[in-house]
Amino acid sequence: MKQALEVLLAGVVDYAGLFPPAALDMAAATQSYARYLGDPARMMLGRFVVPVVRLREFDDAASALLPRGAASEPWRLSALPGPDLTADIDLALKFNCRHWNESEIGHAVIDALEIKVSTTPQIAAACSIMPRQFASYFEIPIATDPRELVDAIRRDGGFAKARTGGVTEAAFPDAKDVARFMIRCRDARVAFKLTAGLHHPVRAEYALTYAADAPRGTMFGYLNMFTAAVLAWNGADESVVLSALLSQSPSDFHFSDDAVAFRNHSVPVAVVRDAREKFIISFGSCSFREPVDDLAALSIS
């Protein structure tokens, strides 16, 4: 894999195997994550995503799998609170206390919370009680201009999150709305993550679930998304970002040791690295193998 592609894809997949369409039980999801940590494609793996309400269930299922010892690297978790944010922050803090590096039940840490909001007061209220040890990701609606919401996230030091698909065609946002969201985040210098509908590298029509008779629809590609984001970070205008999101041709994307390129637009690897650190963080996916295996099968250079 070329260096620029490695930089573009390092830690991109936040594993959400508990969620549809995979909807695995906790034992299967934690076992899968443990297996992926030893996979040759491990460099693409990010956090394990879990609802706060299921943290005790996680303890029971993952204890035998978690690392231990002073030099251990913890499993990193992103947790989804429910309606009572104060109570769920407390549960997340207690989880971290239980799972220190010498813990008998294993080493893990929640370092991010993902909160669904639709108004600026909700963002301010959440940030006012959020401990600094958690990165706060705010999932916001993007069908209308999200400028005010993104600006509120910037003022309170949070991160944005946008939903990019689901198990029905109606769950996928318009590409124009995604491009606008990226530009708003770029202009406000707000980092973000994406979630759902990004199992495949390049935009095309795919089955929307794993059922034999699953409906099909056009899904975004994660290479499209991340290339579009680094183009935006490098100063591209909204029309170029939109073109990268909409492309269904693998030959439009090129990766070398020095740059990521879309058609005649090239981004130096140093800017790609900067964008991954400060701008586009990851995407949530109920599958890790699909994104990895589809990339391996794709003839791309």
Residue 90 reports pLDDT greater than 80: yes
CA distances for 227 relative to 24, 49, 65, 122, 294, angstroms? 30, 24, 35, 31, 17
Listed in sequence order, the DSSP H helices in the chain are 3-9, 26-36, 55-62, 85-98, 120-129, 147-155, 175-188, 222-233, 238-246, 269-278, 289-297
Percent of the chain with pLDDT over 90: 96
The Cα 148–Cα 163 span in angstroms is 18
Radius of gyration of the chain (CA): 19
pLDDT, tens only, 103-154: 999 999 999 999 999 999 999 999 999 999 999 999 999 999 999 999 999 9
pLDDT, tens only, 265-289: 999 999 999 999 999 999 999 999 9
The Cα 86–Cα 229 span in angstroms is 33
- Report DSSP state, residue 53: G
Both structure tokens of 34: 């443990």
- All domains of the chain in start order, with CATH: 3-297 (3.20.20)
- SS3 at position 163: strand
pLDDT (mean) for 22-26: 97
Mean pLDDT of the residues in the chain? 96
Position 83 confidence tier, pLDDT thresholds 50, 70, 90: very high
End-to-end CA distance of the chain: 9
Smallest Cα–Cα separation from 268: which of 276, 277, 278, 258? Answer: 258
pTM score, whole prediction: 0.96
pLDDT, tens only, 182-230: 999 999 999 999 999 999 999 999 999 999 999 999 999 999 999 999 9
pLDDT, tens only, 251-270: 999 999 999 999 999 999 99
Position 299 confidence tier, pLDDT thresholds 50, 70, 90: confident
Q: What pLDDT shows up at residue 169? A: 92
Contact 118, 141 (CB under 8 A): yes
Contact 205, 217 (CB under 8 A): yes
Residue 301 reports pLDDT greater than 70: no
- SS3 at position 238: helix
Q: What pLDDT shows up at residue 1? A: 82
